[in-house]
Chain A
Amino acid sequence: MLDFVQQLVSGVALGCVYGLIALGFVLVYKATEVVNFAQGDLMMLGGFFAFTFIGMMGLNYWVGFAGAVAAMALFGMVAERVVVRPILGYPQFSIIMATIGLGYFLRSIAGMIWGTDDLKIETPFSQGVLRVGSLVLAHDKLSVIAATVILCTLLWLFFNKTTLGTAMRASSENMLAAYYMGIPVKRVVSIVWAISAAVATCAGVLLAPITFIHSNVGLALGLKAFPAAVLGGFGSIPGAVVGGVLIGVIESMAGFYLAEGWKDVAPYIVLLAVLLLKPEGLFGLHVRKKV
């Protein structure tokens, strides 16, 4: 039982990271119908920025964290402006290739700047543990879960209670009508990219004490976060987080209770099963396009 809870907590923590990356996928997809395959690499870059601010420049953890988030938000806007906007309106295929290319580019650049070693950030959560009876929970994992809950609450408030957030939902539902309302759609799209890069950075920094930062961390996690987004029903924000947590828990349970090798396969088996039974995903809207 103790093992089960232990595995559950670390699964949820890992799943939260998947969920946050998946959230970035979903935000960008909802706003522009673009699938950004470089989402995981934005997370990786965010982690390196944080390492630069905290590990190399010696800034306070929170200051460095905020700096990395701000820098990456700006980077997300620039990436949208330079890579995606010029080919918007062309076939999906070209845009997907462009984001895959962006991912390769970021990984190579990160390798050149920060090298290929695993880097570590000292965080206030790196060492401590929480003991509840005989249960031992590491602070780094709990911090990921807490931060995800806080971030999701903030995003929910932003999208539902502010005019700009409502305008973002409006633009994603009907972009043409948003133009008719005088909503500056292009600026809204930039802000969506900024938010998704910022969320990815939070995931990267929170993950740093658990898996370290290296230039391929984004690719590996992006490949897990993508099924999380699909599982939740691509296009649903709560679905992305729930999908992420599910994938994380399944992976962690499979790694503990099943034989070697199941760990990486199990999430995909569940994904395939869900897609067979409920093709729109767990939280997807039941809208089927008639061809």
Chain B
Amino acid sequence: MDAAVTPDIILKLSNIESYYGPIMAIRGISLEVPRGRIVTLLGANGAGKTTVLKTISGILDPQKGAIEFMGRPIQRMEADRIVRLGLSHVPEGREVFPFLSVRENLMMGAYPRRDRDGVAEDIERVYGYFPRLKERINQPAGQLSGGEQQMLAIGRALMNRPTLLLLDEPSLGLSPILVKEIFTIIRRVNEEQGMSILLVEQNAKVALETAHYGYVLEIGRIVMNDSCDRLMHSQDIQEFYLGAKEAGARGERRWKKKKTWR
């Protein structure tokens, strides 16, 4: 991490272990999200990225380890209390409320808040980021296109005015143009509001271009972490995530490489 940036840590995971039933999905993960930064968590299918986010937001309880959000331990806290502390989660696959209107979906994002004026202000700000949502304000969310639903899911999380935003695969199933549009907004939210963001992505290219710092996850472990600039130029990342080299006998290569990382 750049030594020049004051490491004011918003989120800190120490040795987190999580299980799906009897299966250990997360095998001792430690990571940090500094204030005002975008941190990305990369990894292939089944690496455990979504599980990490679910563990942070309290949908899953970690078996071991500690999670600190703004200096406060939040492991094993109820999910709705964690949201109230200012941590919002945009889940994988958008998960909008299909029969609620766009406006009602956004209002649900502000459910923990009681300041009506602030909420009205934020709803306008979300419409500013995503003008298309404003056009569809009274439509049921289920009728929106995939891209619009992703915008709604992000806008809905912003309505909580979170300190930290967890984003799970915002590029999933979207056209390249929409991916670009959504990541531009993510960067804007980070720059304009100083919001810290933890971004999980399979699209390593766009994630590395957007984020400041990155972690690489493989089968429940962090195998690499560095600034995104350096990750982008690392040989392994280029080979395995950016497709710079044909895969070849990739299975063997991958296991060999991993040993040197540990």
Contacts and interface: CB of A to CB of B under 8 A. Distances in A.
A182 B160 contact: yes
Interface stretch (B13-21, B92-100, B181-189, B212-220): B92-100
Given A181-B83, A181-B156, A173 B57 contact: no
A177 B91 contact: yes
B34 interface: no
A189 B261 CA distance: 48
A163 B111 contact: yes
Interface in A177-195: 177-185
A113 B109 CA distance: 47
Contact of A173 (B59, B83, B100, B157): B100
Contacts of B224: none
Nearest to A180: B89
Contact of B80 (A170, A176, A177, A185): A185
B59 A181 contact: no
A120 interface: no
Interface in B27-77: 57-59
Nearest to A183: B111
A128 B57 CA distance: 60
B99 A180 contact: no
A20 B83 CA distance: 36
A139 interface: no
A170 B79 contact: no
A112 B185 CA distance: 66
A166 B91 contact: no
Given A179-B80, A181-B83, A182-B160, A170 B98 contact: no
Contacts of A163: 107, 111
B108 A173 contact: no
A109 to B, nearest CB: 34
Given A166-B104, A183-B108, A183-B111, A173 B89 contact: no
Interface in B99-117: 99-100, 104, 107-109, 111-112
Interface residues of B, number: 28
A167 B111 CA distance: 8
A172 to B, nearest CB: 9
B80 A166 contact: no
Interface in A29-74: none
Interface string A158-170: 0000010011011
A180 B59 CA distance: 8
A169 B105 CA distance: 11
Q: State which size class the interface on A falls in.
A: 10 to 19
Interface string A3-31: 00000000000000000000000000000
B88 interface: yes
B125 interface: no
Contacts of A178: 108
B107 A177 contact: no
Interface in B160-181: 160
A127 interface: no
Central interface residue in A173, A179, A181, by most chain B CB within 10 Å? A181
A159 B111 CA distance: 15
A174 interface: yes
A182 B77 CA distance: 12
B84 interface: yes
B80 to A, nearest CB: 5
A287 to B, nearest CB: 10
A148 to B, nearest CB: 24
Nearest to A166: B104
B80 A184 contact: yes
Contacts of B83: 180-182
Contacts of B160: 181-182
Interface in A223-248: none
Nearest to A160: B104
Nearest to B98: A173
Given A174-B95, A177-B91, A169 B80 contact: no
Interface of A: 163, 166-167, 169-170, 173-174, 176-185
Given A174-B98, A180-B59, A182-B82, 6 more contacts: A166-B100, A167-B111, A179-B79, A181-B109, A182-B79, A182-B112
Instruction: Sort A-B residue pairs by CB-CB distance and give the 3 closest, nearest first.
Output: A182-B83, A177-B95, A182-B112
26 contacts: A163-B111, A166-B100, A166-B107, A167-B108, A169-B100, A170-B100, A173-B97, A173-B98, A174-B95, A174-B96, A174-B97, A174-B98, A176-B91, A177-B95, A179-B79, A179-B80, A180-B79, A180-B83, A180-B157, A181-B108, A181-B109, A181-B112, A182-B79, A182-B82, A182-B111, A182-B112
